[in-house]
Chains A and B, each alone.
Chain A
């Protein structure tokens, strides 16, 4: 079973629109970590955020915000006032505790295209 599901394969928006990328995860561990990475066309994965399972506070960083809800096993990512430079593939990832600590399980990614 897929541990991380990103149901949106592609999203297109026009500059200055807000956009939310969905992420649903599955784990039996009580301690786990969730991540978002950005992959521009160059290919390098850029770390955006890490949350642990005990911290459900939403976080805002500039135009980026994250909504973590354990009740629905979701960790959604919103970009406010999108810009062309936000165009990239975005990956949600999960790291569980125990013997697989440090191993990242990635979703299939969401291709975001922001048009001028």
Chain B
């Protein structure tokens, strides 16, 4: 039973560029959440997707957008990258109406 997978593992981008991160949820899970974890901080909630729609959103600008596909996998897109976007991006999946979120290994994004 595969857990949550994310790609790529590492990514280096330049300011102003755009990036797409990908996540495949754990088998049987239909809800995907994205978190940003800056160095030395706890993860911060970006948004959550269920049934291909954004169900709730944290305090992040519109430069952060996402998508969920019919197979429940998800993408996180960040436009006009800033140096402050450098962080570990974590994807978590869960089953609807349950509260245990399982996290993937993350994508470490470096913006130069």
Contacts and interface: CB of A to CB of B under 8 A. Distances in A.
Contact of B88 (A43, A100, A103): A43
Contact of B48 (A4, A45, A102): A102
Nearest to A44: B105
Interface of B: 31, 33, 35, 40-45, 48, 55-56, 58, 88, 90, 92, 94, 99-106, 108
Interface residues of A, number: 25
A47 B102 contact: yes
A50 B88 contact: no
Chain B contact surface mostly: strand
Interface of A: 4, 33, 37, 42-47, 50, 52, 91, 93, 95, 99-109
Given A43-B108, A45-B90, A99-B56, A104 B45 contact: yes
Contact of B45 (A33, A52, A103, A107): A103
B105 A50 contact: no
B42 A44 contact: no
20 contacts: A33-B99, A37-B103, A42-B105, A43-B88, A44-B105, A44-B106, A45-B43, A45-B92, A46-B103, A91-B42, A91-B43, A101-B99, A102-B33, A102-B48, A102-B55, A102-B99, A103-B58, A104-B43, A108-B40, A108-B42
